[in-house]
Amino acid sequence: MPTPPPSSWEPGKTYSYTRTKFIPIYPYVGDVDVRMGLYPYPGRGERIVLKGDDAGMRAYRVGKMELLPQTENIFLVYKDGWHSPESSPQNPTLERTWTKKDALVSFKNPKKDIVVYLEADTNYKAFDVPPVLTLSVGKSKAGLVIPIADSEVFLKKMRVKAADLGTDEWVDLHFSMNQSFVPKAKGVNSHDDRELGVMVYHLYVGEADQLGTVPQVVDAGPVTAPVAVASKDALAKTTAPAKGGPAAKPSAGGGKSASK
């Protein structure tokens, strides 16, 4: 659904929003069209007619891009803490990978500023405490602390300065959760006895100067390994307003599917 939703649009006004999309692997190199179309709500008829260069079936040409060889990407090496990739039941072409509580990825140091893209989710209800993911790079431990508020897919973009990558030939990217869970022990899946942290749909590392202006990117800062926080029940109690007074404020806690 676009933001703001089309139901709030007014005639004569222009609306824009940003959406990041990951391009799957294709055995093709060269120019491609970017096409766009608007679908109505399910069951309400055909695609909406727009003004533009109609490529057929009300899909409109809105731009072009060039697909480069996969070797142009910064190659990621998945090391410790990763389970085998698995397909999404809703979309068999979409591959995703669970981490354990801690996981490690390495890549060759470009010695330039980089942007790390992470698209992931987890089973929020399976955690005893609110889950928190900490991403950090190299020996500098610069990174980002990501509190996870629900089971929805989230996208984070982290800019890391060249100085924080260090001077070694390879850089380690650390994933660290404040807690993990085992589906079998939680009654989520009676056969799955793996230790799970976050499910990664896309992980991409690109050189910042080649990416241009990246919306909604956050600069990496000093981070420490996540620490245990109060349970969800405890947090719920601390946020419940007391009779005749304001609610108590809880203290803050905490602080593979590669894009081919």
Write a three-state SS string for 168-211. CCEEEEEEEECCCECHHHHCCCCCCCCCECCEEEEEEEEEHHHH
The pair phi, psi for residue 218, each rounded to 5°, is -120, 135
What confidence score (pLDDT) does residue 1 get?
76
Average pLDDT over residues 151-172: 96
The pair phi, psi for residue 73, each rounded to 5°, is -75, 160
Q: What is the dihedral of CA 34, 39, 42, 43, to 10 degrees?
A: -120
pLDDT at 35 over 90: yes
Amino acid at 150: D
What is the DSSP code string of 50-106?
A: -SSEE-STT-EEEEEEEEPPGGGSPPEEE-TTBPPPEE-SS-TT-EEEEB-SEEEEE
The pair phi, psi for residue 145, each rounded to 5°, is -100, 125
Q: Which fold has domain 73-237?
A: Jelly Rolls (2.60.120)
- Is the C-alpha dihedral spanning 217, 218, 220, 224 positive or negative? negative
- What is the Cα–Cα distance from 214 to 164, expressed in whole angstroms? 19
Average pLDDT over residues 7-11: 89
**44-48, 52-56, 64-68 — which is least confidently predicted?**
44-48
**117-131, 144-158, 187-201 — which is least confidently predicted?**
187-201
Percent of the chain residues past pLDDT 90, beyond the cut? 61
The pTM score is 0.80
pLDDT at 155 over 50: yes
Tokens of 220: 């990496």
Q: Which residue do the tokens 């006004």 mark? A: 13
Whole-number Cα distances in Å, 79 to 44, 76, 238, 241, 256: 48, 9, 40, 46, 11
pLDDT at 91 over 50: yes
What confidence score (pLDDT) does residue 250 get?
33
Comparing 93 with 81, the larger pLDDT belongs to 81
Residue 123 burial (10 A CB sphere; 0-12, 13-18, 19+):
middle
Average pLDDT over residues 82-93: 88
What confidence score (pLDDT) does residue 71 get?
86
Average pLDDT over residues 82-88: 94
**16-20, 97-101, 116-120 — which is least confidently predicted?**
16-20
Tokens of 33: 């069209």
pLDDT at 254 over 90: no
**72-81, 106-115, 159-168, 231-240 — which is least confidently predicted?**
231-240
- What is the Cα–Cα distance from 39 to 13, expressed in whole angstroms? 20
Of 12-21, 41-50, 72-81, 216-225, the range with the highest mean pLDDT is 72-81
Ordered by start, the domain boundaries in the chain are: 1-69, 73-237
